[in-house]
Each structure stands twice: as structure tokens, then as C-alpha cells.
Chains A and B, each alone.
Chain A
Amino acid sequence: MISSNTTRRIGVVPVPIFVAVIAILDVTLPTSVAASVAFNPLLVFAVLQTLLLFGTSVVVAYISLKSYLSGGSRTILLLGSGTLAWGFASMVAGWLLSPPGGPNVGVTISNSGALFASLFYIASATATMSASSSRDSKRRKSKLLLAYGGAVGFLAVLTMFALLGATPTFFVPGVGSTLLRQVVVAAGMFLFGASSILFIRLYYDSRSGILFWFSIALALTTIGFAAFYFGRTVGDPIAWTGRIATYLGGIYSLIAIWSAVRGSHGNLSGPQ
């Protein structure tokens, strides 16, 4: 039986690997080559986004929902809202990379949605520093509806505006990212990274498997953002490295849930 410490050490390994691959590709990959090897199977991408980002986010958002309704922790409410926002934006962006959307629409929703989600995550991570919970159990449902509904509602409106061409341009095919996209991606990357660091700090206090796997999931998502930042074009090797990192992040968030399942049964074996 592999110990939980060993499992966690193995779990961290992908983080430096992805960082190294992106760094090497950034240094060695010429823009012309990147564009020629760009790979964009739209249906596969949409399905991957739906299964590995939206699907996993729904699981985390659901457990957070149940957790908030019984415990009232604002940390959990914000975390659930952020995860739902991230998953929803990823799924919509995945399907809208093809018409009636297009690269700009997909990138706009993906990047803006990710920045929006990262605001929830950083708020959640900072809320863990203070005792913040709603004692009024009767109002939890309305707060939950407001937070989850607000997150999805905002992204739905953003999607509508993006489809109508009413949002600023994020990506110009053949030219690349706009300055706005670079700013949004950099801000999102910073906030995801900061959230990951804050949660991993909590992990060192509690040694909770849930915190460990969730922190690494956020770290992998941060790496995905870095790939957005350094990528030359949609679907190039750097972009795919980032996508794979975010998909692995989705899987890691499921491992965090699995740790909760194990923890709830007092079983310390497995990916604790």
C-alpha cells in the first residue's frame, strides 16, 4: 500500500514538468512552426472541456453546495461559485470555439470567465483567514442561489455579448492576442496562483488531503493560464500543454473530493 505522503509527492510531479515543458517550448518554438502545427479538433476540444472541466466543476460545486447549506461557511460558498464559474466558462468556450462563435468568442469567454472565477477563488482563500460563516441557516439557500445563479448568470450574459460582438476583442486570428487578453490572462494567472499558494499554506497547517489536491488543482490551472499567456496561437503545442494541465487540474479536484469521501469514512489510505 502506497502511503499518502508518497501519493502526494507523486501528485506534485506534474507541476514542474508542465512548467518546464512550457518554458522549453516558449524558448525553442518559433511562431511560424507553432502556427503550422496548431491542432484544433473542435469537437474533441469541446468534449474535453465539458467532461474534464465542466463535469468536474459540477461535482465540486455540488459538494460545496451541500457543505454550505449545512455549515454556512463563506469560504465554501465562494469556492463553489468560483468552481462553477470556471467550469461553465470552460464548457461554453469549448463549444463556441466553432461557429456561431469563433476563436475570439471562445477566447473571450474562456479568459474572462477564468478571471471572474479567480476572483471567487482568491476571495475564498482569503476568507479562510477569518471566521466567516453564515449562522442564519434560513438565508443560506437565498445566498447560495444568489452566488451560484449570479456566477452562471454573469457568464451567460457575457456569452451573449461576446456572440453579439459587443465585447472588446481578445484574439485576432492570424495576429494573436490583444493587450487586453494579456492583461486579463496575467491577472487571472496571478489570482489563481495566489489562491493556490494560500490554500497550500493552509494544507501545511492541517495536512488535509482535500486541501492538498485542491491546491495542486489550482496550481495546474495557473499553469494552464501561463500557457494561454505564452502560447503563439490557438491550438499550438504550448496551448495544448496548458489545456492538458487544466484537465489534470479538473481530475485533481475530483481526487480532492475522493479524499473527502475517504475522510468521511475515517479511512486514511488511498489518495489522502
Chain B
Amino acid sequence: MARNKTGIVELDEMLRGGFMDKDAVMIAGSAGTGKTTLGLEYLVNGATQFGEPGIYLTFEQLPDQIYRDAENFGWDLRKLEAEDKLRIVCTSPDLLLEPDGEEQLLGETIKELRPRRMVIDSLNHLEMYVPHGDLRKETYRILMYLKTRGITPLAIWEAQQGVDSYAVTQAGMSFLIDCLITLKFVEIDSSMKKALVIMKMRGSDHDKRLREYEITAHGLRVAAPFSGYEGIITGSPHRSLTQEVAGAWDNAFTKTKHKQ
């Protein structure tokens, strides 16, 4: 089965090799969790490591901002564009939502570039331009347009941080998505950490564990699972009983020496 590697080694391991080819992928998370960084890294790695050109469709930022932010991670997007490995398309959602808008906006670029992957940043912007209830229909239309052209679409969704931040279903779109990755802030031991989990991956096994990740100078790096903690998803993580006992055991034998 063809896989679409992200190029982030640990994430590809979690995905058992990468996204399934032409699957609709959604990255959901609150502001600042690194959704855009993950989307850009997916495109840059596709272009530089796997020979798969990509399109970054944004309703949010101007190209100069994107180039600047990418440079901070060592990604030269201008160079990739010059080499026909990447296109940054900055537009307004209403243009895409016009009848045949996707063909008018992307058709020519797709013919030229023959992209294999595309990031839509973000679906929330479409929500502002369509009547309530039509977002699913419009999203379906766009995703199918891309899939039928051999493109693996990765859509970004900004979810509210909180108990129901995983409820992407609140927009009723989960059935349109083949693979759902959620990014989330969690407070553990009085410090803010970031957690990543693959909530769903249609037709494939995947790592079900919550993994810590960091945004480094080179992009997103996935670390070890949050072992010994419970309740991370609900936003109130606490250590399991065994970990609590182990902590008390450690304190008894090691805290004492600090007093001396």
C-alpha cells in the first residue's frame, strides 16, 4: 500500500509508514500548537526528500510571512518554488467557494506542478464564508477535487483547547476525514507540554498512544509517549497510582538527602 511519508521519522512510525495515499488528513489543534509548522514540514519534506511537489493554500498569512517563518526552520520556500517543487497560494476563501472555484484557483497550478500533497490552512476560514451546515458540503467538494487528482490533502482545523477540543465532530466533518491527528497543550508537573495523538486512521493500524512533541529549530520532533499519566485527553492529566507510589517512594529516599 502506497504511503505518503511526512519525513518526520517518529510520526511516520506512528502512522506505520506515513499517510495512506490520497487520504484526506486533518490536523486539529488550538492556536500555537504547531499545525502550520507541521503542514509546512510535510510539504518541504515531500519536495526535498521524496520528490513529491506540493501546494500550500493559505487564507491566513501573506506569502512573505510564510517565507520568513519557514526560514526560521531552515526551509527555503522561495528556492523550492523556483524549482517547481512547491507553490504558495494565498487567497481569499470566497474565491475557492465560488462555483468551479477550486479549478479556477488551482487547476493551472496542478497541471504545471503535478503535486502529490497539499495543505489547506485552514478550514476554519471557509466556515466564515459559508452558511451554517454548508461547510461539510464545501469541504467534501474540495477534498474530492484534490483526491481525484492524486493529491493527498492535509487540512488544518483550529479547535478550541478544552475538554471537547477533540470533538472535531462538532463541525460534523469527521466522516469526511480519513486520518485525524490532534495536537494539544497539556499541563504536566507545572509545565506546559505539547501532546500529539492519531485519533483516527481509516484502513490502517497506527500508534494509539499520546506522544509528546516539540517545535524545534528544525521543525516538529515527536518524543516518547506520555507514560504513567492518565486523563491527558480530558485536559486534567494525573499520574497513575503506580507512578504516584513510585514518586512517593523516590521522595522518601531522595528528598531526605537534600535536607542534609
Residues of A within 8 A of B (CB): 63-64, 66-68, 70-71, 73, 75-76, 79, 124, 128-131, 133, 202, 205-206, 208, 210-211, 257, 259-261, 263-265
Out of B245, B255, B259, name the residue touching A264 (CB < 8 Å): B245
Contacts of B255 in A (CB 8 A): 206
A66 to B, closest residue via Cβ: B246
Out of B242, B252, B257, name the residue touching A131 (CB < 8 Å): B257
Q: What distance in Å separates the Cβ of B84 from its nearest Cβ neighbour in chain A?
A: 41
Out of A67, A129, A202, A265, name the residue touching B249 (CB < 8 Å): A67
- Asked if B256 contacts A128 (CB within 8 A), the reply is yes
CA distance A202 to B254 in the complex (A): 10
- Asked if B249 contacts A70 (CB within 8 A), the reply is no
**Selected A-B contacts with CB under 8 Å, 22 pairs:** A64-B249, A66-B242, A71-B250, A75-B257, A76-B253, A76-B254, A128-B254, A128-B256, A131-B258, A133-B254, A202-B257, A205-B260, A211-B252, A260-B245, A260-B249, A261-B241, A261-B244, A261-B248, A263-B251, A263-B252, A264-B245, A264-B248
Contacts of A202 in B (CB 8 A): 253, 256-257
Q: Which of B243, B253, B255, B256 has the most CB of A within 10 A?
A: B253
CA distance A63 to B246 in the complex (A): 5
CA distance A133 to B251 in the complex (A): 12
At the interface, yes or no: B231 with Cβ under 8 Å from chain A? no
- Interface of chain B, helix or strand or loop or mixed? helix
At the interface, yes or no: B247 with Cβ under 8 Å from chain A? yes
CA distance A229 to B228 in the complex (A): 44
CA distance A79 to B253 in the complex (A): 10
- Contacts A64-B249, A71-B247, A211-B253 supplied; 14 other A-B pairs, CB < 8 Å: A66-B245, A68-B250, A70-B247, A70-B250, A71-B250, A73-B254, A75-B254, A124-B253, A128-B254, A130-B257, A206-B252, A210-B252, A260-B245, A261-B248
Contacts of B228 in A (CB 8 A): 66, 70
CA distance A127 to B252 in the complex (A): 13
- Asked if A67 contacts B246 (CB within 8 A), the reply is yes
Contacts of A131 in B (CB 8 A): 257-258
CA distance A210 to B252 in the complex (A): 6
Q: Which of A63, A75, A260, A265 has the most CB of B within 10 A?
A: A260
Q: Which of B228, B252, B255 has the most CB of A within 10 A?
A: B252
Q: What distance in Å separates the Cβ of B204 from its nearest Cβ neighbour in chain A?
A: 29
- Asked if B250 contacts A67 (CB within 8 A), the reply is yes
Out of B245, B251, B254, B259, name the residue touching A261 (CB < 8 Å): B245
Contacts of B250 in A (CB 8 A): 67-68, 70-71, 73, 76
- B181-207 contact mask (Cβ, 8 Å, vs A): 1 or 0: 000000000000000000000000000
CA distance A124 to B242 in the complex (A): 22
- Asked if A257 contacts B243 (CB within 8 A), the reply is no
Q: Which of A131, A206, A257 has the most CB of B within 10 A?
A: A206
CA distance A34 to B132 in the complex (A): 92
Contacts of A261 in B (CB 8 A): 241, 244-245, 248
Out of A66, A208, A264, A265, name the residue touching B256 (CB < 8 Å): A208
CA distance A259 to B248 in the complex (A): 9
- Asked if B260 contacts A257 (CB within 8 A), the reply is no
Q: What distance in Å separates the Cβ of B97 from its nearest Cβ neighbour in chain A?
A: 49
Contacts of B260 in A (CB 8 A): 129, 205
CA distance A130 to B253 in the complex (A): 11
- Asked if A206 contacts B259 (CB within 8 A), the reply is yes
Q: What distance in Å separates the Cβ of B55 from its nearest Cβ neighbour in chain A?
A: 39
Tell whether A71 pairs with B254 under 8 Å between CB atoms, given A63-B249, A76-B249, A129-B260: yes
Contacts of A260 in B (CB 8 A): 245-246, 248-249, 252
Out of B244, B247, B252, B257, name the residue touching A208 (CB < 8 Å): B252
Contacts of B257 in A (CB 8 A): 75, 128-131, 202
Contacts of A130 in B (CB 8 A): 257
- Asked if A67 contacts B247 (CB within 8 A), the reply is yes
Contacts of A211 in B (CB 8 A): 252-253, 256
